[in-house]
Amino acid sequence: MSEAVAFSAFFPRHLLSMLKGKDLRTFFLAGYTSSLPALVGRSEVGRANSVFETIYSIGYIVGPSMAGVLAATIGPGPALVIDAMSCAISALGLAFVHRDLRAPLDRPRQPLVADIREGIDYIGSNPTLRSAVLFWGATSVVMAPLVTAVTVYVTKELAYAPSALGLILTAYGVGTVAGAITSGRVVGRTRPAPVMLGGNLVMGLALASVAVNAQLPVLLVASVIAGTTQSLVLVTYLTLRTAESPDALLGRIGSTARTISLGLQPIGLLVGGALVDATSASLTITVMAIGVAGVSLLFLPATSFRRARLATR
């Protein structure tokens, strides 16, 4: 995969995340995942997802630091201007992509509602794809309040300085980078289900250790492990979803899957926030640990999901 493609992929995704434009972010993510097979070929989708997620994760580590330095030196306004200029850099990078990224043109045009229904129907009719989408959707809902709960837990209940929270979040980010890099070697060499199911179980154990141990070194190690497994599960899921989706429906299936995973996250945030207020952040993290491990146990009986392979087509 060319540097131009990776470069252009990072900037809009980073910018849209910073702007909290969930609707625009969904548009971009659907377009990027559906165009990936045309860019790199289906046999390289797993490695490409690994590269993209690595760049994305590095952005979450480097980006806030750069923003803080720029805001302190040149001011918030000029810093935002520099951030906005990333859109132009992104467009320049995309200008070097000459392949046709559109869906096959031999299909008749349909109303938007029919296109949406077609994507939903295909997911519903494919047991492996249905299980994968629901698995990641459930995981996303359970994990949605993680940052909020950890922030309250570290700064209020453990009374650590804000710098300790920064270290913990950075450790999680380092883990996501490590997981994204590792996934390039893991994806395609084993069945996706063991990686996804086992990854959630390990993530649950890591979160449980955070909830019961107040020592900062343990919190940092657990954060790295949680970030690593989260990236492994995500890259494997994206690759499996692409492998199970025909070229003509990549955009529709991706949009439906993103709607489920992103659209239901506010429910997780609401429940998690209410649980923190009603009980404690440590108990909330414990519930999340049980929940994310429970997702794996819930989908363990899904035979088609367990036996799925990342066959290229």
CA dihedral 245, 16, 291, 208 (to 10 degrees): 130
Six-digit token pair at 70? 């720029």
Residue 112's pLDDT is 65
pLDDT along the chain (313 residues), means of 10: 39 40 62 75 79 78 75 82 80 78 65 76 91 94 93 93 88 90 81 93 95 91 94 92 85 83 88 94 96 95 88 49
CB-based burial label for 259 (10 Å; 0-12, 13-18, 19+): middle
Six-digit token pair at 170? 């950075």
Task: Round to whole Å and give the CA distance between 301 and 177.
Answer: 31
Residue 108's pLDDT is 66
Hey, what amino acid is at 261?
S
Q: Which residues contact 225 (CB under 8 A, 6 or more apart)?
A: 175, 202, 203, 206
61-71 pLDDT, tens digit per residue, is 777 777 777 77
Six-digit token pair at 112? 């938007």
Residue 159's pLDDT is 92
Task: Round to whole Å and give the CA distance between 281 and 178.
Answer: 27
> What are the distances in angstroms from CA 217 to CA 207, 213, 222?
14, 10, 9
- So where are the chain's domains? 3-98+111-306
Residue 23's pLDDT is 56
212-264 pLDDT, tens digit per residue, is 888 999 999 999 999 999 999 999 999 999 888 888 888 788 888 888 888 88
Residue 11's pLDDT is 38
Task: Round to whole Å and give the CA distance between 144 and 275.
Answer: 13
Is residue 190 helix, strand or coil? strand
Beta strands in 172-313 (DSSP E): none
Q: Which CATH architecture has domain 3-98+111-306?
A: Up-down Bundle (1.20)
Task: Round to whole Å and give the CA distance between 95 and 128.
Answer: 36
Helix or strand holding residue 103 (H, E): none
Question: With contact defined as beta carbons under 8 Å apart, do 188 and 194 qualify?
Answer: no
Question: With contact defined as beta carbons under 8 Å apart, do 250 and 33 qualify?
Answer: yes
